[in-house]
């Protein structure tokens, strides 16, 4: 069964996925719905296997946070009296520009962490562009980002297994 499955993936889905990444994600999502997991095998934490999606997410989040560092801003050297690069001129984001970008969204892509489908954003572009323009300009003026903009949907994909499967498929040929 495994050999047939690998053959199907490499010969049927493989060439199609190169032309259309939607096929890959459809296949991945089908597997996630079927086994009701996050697509990641059970993880070991303090000697015990953890298999529920929320716990696996927390384990991975803890790990990723541990390997990234926050830069120590107290040891940044003083800048020279003349800047190496010219100061960027102030600019304003326009409502027409925001509306144009909203209309350019690919409606078939997945929603972000806010859960808003891109199709809705495109349809409502003329109505929501002024409010978004205000928010974007406020962010530029204050130099801060809203906390919601710092979140993302992340799906880890274990690539080593994919490489091993490809090697197995190549060996079968």
Q: Could you read off the pLDDT of 12-66 as tens digits, one per residue?
A: 676 676 677 777 777 777 765 554 444 677 888 888 888 888 888 888 888 888 8
pLDDT in tens, 125-158: 999 999 999 999 999 888 898 888 888 877 776 6
Q: Say if CB 9 and CB 3 are below 8 A apart.
A: no
> What's CA 13's distance to the chain center, in Å?
23
Cβ pair 93, 129 in contact under 8 A: no
3-state secondary structure of 45: strand
**What is the Cα–Cα distance from 66 to 59, expressed in whole angstroms?**
11
CA dist., res. 133 & res. 94, Å (int): 6
Amino acid 76: pLDDT: 78
Cα 150 to Cα 156: distance, rounded to the nearest angstrom: 18
Taking the mean position of all CA atoms in its chain, how far away is CA 157? 11
């Amino acid at each position: 069964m495994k050999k047939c499955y690998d053959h199907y993936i490499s010969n049927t889905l493989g060439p199609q996925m190169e032309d259309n990444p939607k096929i890959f994600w459809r296949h991945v999502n089908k597997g996630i719905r079927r086994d009701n997991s996050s697509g990641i095998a059970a993880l070991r934490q303090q000697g015990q296997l953890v298999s529920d999606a929320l716990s696996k997410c927390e384990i991975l989040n803890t790990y990723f946070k541990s390997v990234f560092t926050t830069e120590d801003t107290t040891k940044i050297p003083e800048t020279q009296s003349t800047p190496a690069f010219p100061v960027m001129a102030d600019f304003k984001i326009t409502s027409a520009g925001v509306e144009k970008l909203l209309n350019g969204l690919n409606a078939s892509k997945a929603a972000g962490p806010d859960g808003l489908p891109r199709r809705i954003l495109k349809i409502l572009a003329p109505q929501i562009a002024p409010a978004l323009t205000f928010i974007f300009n406020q962010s530029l003026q204050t130099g801060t980002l809203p906390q919601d903009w710092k979140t993302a949907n992340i799906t880890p994909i274990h690539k080593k297994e994919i490489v091993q499967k490809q090697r197995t498929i190549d060996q079968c040929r």
